[in-house]
Amino acid sequence: MNVLFVCDPLSSFHTEKDSTFTMMREAQRRGHGVWACTTADLYWQSGDRVSANMHSISLTGHALDWFSVVATHNRALADMDAVLMRKDPPFDNEYFYATHLLSQAEREGAKVFNRPQSLREHPEKLALMEFAEFASPTLVTRNPQAIREFHALHQDIILKPLDGMGGMGIFRVKADGLNLGAIMESLNREGSTSVMLQKFLPAIAQGDKRVLVINGQAVPFALARIPQGGEVRGNLAAGGKGVAQPLTERDWQIAKAVGPVLAARGLLLVGLDIIGDCLTEVNVTSPTCFREITDQTGCNVPALFIDALEHCLAGPS
């Protein structure tokens, strides 16, 4: 089986924590061909199929020079056995256009995971709103007055941009409203940009849990990303400490309700963010935390993922 990873440049990988790297390593361990390209390598010429300038790579097992390029070819995506869209956010125009190219590749016979149409239809912040019964009070708006009213009602709130990742642009405003105006100027830009507001959850002190769901089934361990040094953000990219722990009863309840719904839409891999008992985000672009959970618990998350991929490609038994 030949697997194409559409991802960030390989030179940018931090293999000690990169989930895409662990997928590649497991795929190679099973004898599958590992290929890689960036979204910039995708192209579609009139009268031809969606293709990419892609590299066949071999993982070396070394920490620094972790891969070698075996060959480089221009190939149609439909000629690959599987295409994994693992480009990190932001979900900007170029990401959006890439999903359209991947949708065309699907029409030509490519098997793309996560499904491009579902990537477009489940922006990571907004996707939460479909499952409001599991969420804390949340508002998405670009109306400055609505923002102020939400703060007046809930007193202690979180504001975040809809296109952020890794904790970028997240602010907390307490009951005194200190800096709310300045934060609104930064995020809301006088009503020109939509933002998400959520009631602050004190349980963040115990961590922002990432629950991985693979083909509708939850991985039995979550990674609790615990804020450090007075930070409100638990994201690893913002300095949070990652501690793997078994799923709670509430984690299982949320995953069992949300996971199968999203799997049926072609979302093979989903990352649910849970604080306390509340679902706070639904991540579908390039969910991570494989490495940390595997290293700390021995639960082989990459193997679970490649198992699910092989099962999907095999089709109905």
Q: Is 233 a catalytic residue?
A: yes
- Structure tokens that stand for 199 in this block: 């009631």
What is the 3-state secondary structure of 146-167?
A: HHHHHHHHHCCEEEEECCCCCC
Catalytic residue among 111, 115, 125, 291: 125
Catalytic residue among 18, 26, 124, 281: 281
Helices 19-29, 301-314: inter-axial angle, 10-degree rounding: 60
Q: Is 283 a catalytic residue?
A: yes
Q: How far apart are CA 293 and CA 199, in angstroms?
A: 28
Catalytic residue among 160, 209, 291, 292: 160
Name, in order, each residue with C-beta under 8 angstroms of 89's C-beta and a sequence gap of 6 or more: 95, 124, 163, 164, 165, 285, 286
- Structure tokens that stand for 88 in this block: 């990190």
Q: Is 160 a catalytic residue?
A: yes
Q: What b-and-e string marks burial along 275-305, b requiring 16 or more CB atoms within 10 Å of the CB?
A: bbebbbbbbbbbbbbbbbbbeebebbbbebb
Catalytic residue among 87, 111, 210, 291: 210
Catalytic residue among 75, 111, 115, 225: 225
Catalytic residue among 188, 215, 235, 283: 283
Helices 19-29, 290-297: inter-axial angle, 10-degree rounding: 70
Catalytic residue among 209, 233, 251, 291: 233
Catalytic residue among 18, 273, 291, 292: 273
Q: Is 185 a catalytic residue?
A: no
Q: How far apart are CA 184 and CA 223, in angstroms?
A: 31
Q: Is 251 a catalytic residue?
A: no
Q: Is 148 a catalytic residue?
A: no
- Report the number of secondary-structure helices (H) and strands (E) in the chain: 8, 17
Q: Is 25 a catalytic residue?
A: no
Q: Is 273 a catalytic residue?
A: yes
DSSP E strands, the chain: 2-6, 33-37, 42-43, 51-59, 67-76, 82-85, 112-113, 138-141, 157-161, 171-173, 195-199, 208-214, 217-218, 221-226, 241-246, 269-275, 278-283
Catalytic positions? 125, 160, 210, 225, 233, 273, 281, 283
